[in-house]
Amino acid sequence: MNIAVILASGTGNRMGKKVPKQFLTVYDKPIIIYTLEGFQNNERIDKIICVCLSGWEKVLKAYCEQFNIDKLID
């Protein structure tokens, strides 16, 4: 079994936004979803673990449901 581990716990303070940069939207999709989709669509990856900024776990889970990312492990 191959598990991808994504570190997405940055705060993005230098961006000057209230939203961490991994959750900013680019072309109608959060940046983190672009990364997750790469692993989701890779047949060699069985599961995904995403280390998320504390307090943003529910947002990440909602985005995964919205964009059909089903390899994510809670």
pLDDT tens string 13-70: 787 878 899 999 999 999 999 999 999 999 999 999 999 999 999 999 999 999 999 9
pLDDT at position 59 is: 96
pTM of the model: 0.89
Q: What is the per-residue pLDDT for 27? A: 97
The pLDDT of residue 58: 96
- For residue 2, is pLDDT > 90? yes
Lookup result for tokens 């998320």 = 52
- C-alpha pair distances (Å), 23 with each of 5, 31, 35, 52: 17, 6, 11, 10
CB 1 within 8 A of CB 48: no
* CA–CA gap between residue 67 and residue 55 (Å, rounded): 20
pLDDT at 12: 78
